[in-house]
Amino acid sequence: MGQLTSVWRQLRLSLHTKLRLYNAFVVSVLLCGAESWTLTKSDERKLEALQMSCMRRILGIRWFDFVSNASVMDQVKQRPICSRIRDRRITMFGHVRRLQESVPEHEALRLAVNTRTGVRPDDRLDWKRPRGRPRHTWIRQLEIDVGLTAAAAWDMAGDREVWRAQRPVAGQAVQ
């Protein structure tokens, strides 16, 4: 990030050019593989803090200028990082859902959805979940993102147009 700091301070570069560089060099590396992440609230806060730090640096806003995050985001017109990750996760789910049934990725996702709905793959009645808090799985994260159960999302994702139309609007809170 040291090399880019001098680019952000260039007065000859427009804001549009700086934002294009930010999206090309920072966001593309940051979001590499992000569709497979499960994020905690702490992770989301850290990602948003990184984005705000970069945006403030690009705009030349210092910490003592007391500019709100909302006004910074209004100036740069960038989507929050977490909504980009959410969109990538939803897109990947739909893509893998529509693969042929014999593809291993499709089979693995179908197994995860079935497990989430309570169907055990081996029907062993003596199996018990380990003690402790249930893990925050990728399928659970997807359910939170789309506001549907895993089975309902599976059924809806089978039709690409329906799946794309139901996506939450960027920045909209999902139950």
Q: Express each pLDDT in 155-171 by its tens digit.
A: 999 999 999 887 655 44
One domain for residues 20 and 54:
yes
Question: Hey, CA dihedral for 52, 42, 111, 102, is it positive or negative?
Answer: positive
Report the chain's mean pLDDT, rounded to a whole number: 87
pLDDT tier at 7 (50, 70, 90 boundaries)?
confident
- Are 90 and 63 in the same domain? no
The residue type at 60 = G
Domain identity same for 66 and 115:
no
74 and 138 share a domain?
no
The whole-number pLDDT of residue 171 equals 41
- Could you tell me if residue 174 is inside a domain? no
Query: Does some domain include residue 173?
Result: no
Total structural domains in the chain? 2
**Residue 146 domain-assigned (yes or no):** yes
Q: How open is the CA angle 167-173-171, to the nearest 5 degrees?
A: 75
Helix residue ranges, H only, the chain: 2-8, 15-21, 28-30, 41-59, 69-76, 81-97, 104-116, 138-146, 150-157, 160-166
Maximum Cα interatomic distance, the chain, rounded to a whole number of Å: 69
Residue at which a domain ends, from 13, 48, 78: 78
Asked if residue 19 and residue 51 are part of one domain, the reply reads: yes
pLDDT at position 79 over 60: yes
Q: Dihedral sign for Cα 106, 112, 115, 121, please.
A: positive
pLDDT band at 140 (very low <50, low <70, confident <90, very high): very high
- Report the residue count for the chain: 175
Q: Are residues 23 and 47 in the same domain?
A: yes
Task: Let me know whether 96 and 72 are in one domain.
Answer: no
Share of the chain above pLDDT 90, in %: 66
61 and 91 assigned to the same domain: no
Q: Is residue 175 domain-resident? A: no
Instruction: Give domain status of residue 104, yes or no.
Output: yes
Query: By residue range, what is the domain housing residue 74?
Result: 2-78
Q: Both 69 and 100 in a single domain? A: no
Q: Determine the Cα–Cα distance for residues 34 and 44; give it in Å rounded to an integer.
A: 12
Looking at residues 129-140, what average pLDDT do you find? Answer: 85
Residue 124, pLDDT score: 72
- In this structure, the answer to whether residues 96 and 162 fall within a common structural domain is yes
Are 72 and 22 in the same domain? yes
